[in-house]
């Protein structure tokens, strides 16, 4: 599965890269690409296809959280998931679901994410990523509702 994770905090990016490397060694089939800004994410979305795009709502080049996810969600056919410390994350996810976007129905609080554990226990990283995707056999749009 090809995953784009939009994350501007350098330390979080390092931990995610370590988790992706550990998952790769276990052959879990997760190809993680990290974007550090909205513009970087848009550039990568133009060049590559992704199955899942994980978005942090608070990015250095976008102050409007709704605009951030709208711009990303309109760039292709992929699942969107919100992982953010923003207090607006649940409302943003609800607006995406209401708009019919293929979106994980629950936002994830970045402050609750065990990033350091993902590198030590790559099965946690795999399970987290897989948990953001629709249940097999369920149409993606229906899973988002």
Largest CA distance in the chain: 38
CA angle at 124 for the pair 27 and 72, rounded to the nearest 5°: 85
- Report the alpha-carbon distance of residue 121 to residue 128 in Å, rounded: 11
Location of structure tokens 């899942």: 52
pLDDT tens digits, one per residue of 13-53: 999 999 999 999 999 999 999 999 999 999 999 999 999 99
Q: What is the CATH number of domain 2-143?
A: 3.40.50.2300
Checking if the pLDDT of 137 tops 70, the result is: no
The per-residue pLDDT for 144 is: 42
79: left (phi over 0), alpha (psi -120 to 50) or beta: beta
């Amino acid at each position: 599965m090809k995953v784009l994770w939009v994350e501007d905090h350098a330390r979080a990016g390092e931990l995610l890269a370590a988790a992706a490397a550990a998952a790769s060694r276990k052959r879990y089939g997760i190809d993680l690409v990290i974007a550090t800004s909205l513009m970087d994410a848009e550039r990568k979305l133009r060049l590559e296809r992704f199955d899942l795009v994980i978005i942090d709502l608070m990015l250095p080049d976008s102050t409007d959280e709704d605009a951030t996810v709208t711009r990303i969600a309109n760039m292709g056919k992929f699942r969107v998931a919100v992982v953010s410390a923003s207090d607006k994350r649940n409302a943003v996810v609800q607006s995406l679901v209401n708009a019919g976007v293929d979106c994980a129905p629950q936002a994830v609080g970045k402050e609750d994410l065990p990033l350091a554990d993902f590198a030590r226990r790559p099965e946690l990283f795999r399970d987290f990523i897989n948990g953001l995707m629709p249940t097999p056999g369920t149409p993606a749009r229906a899973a988002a509702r």
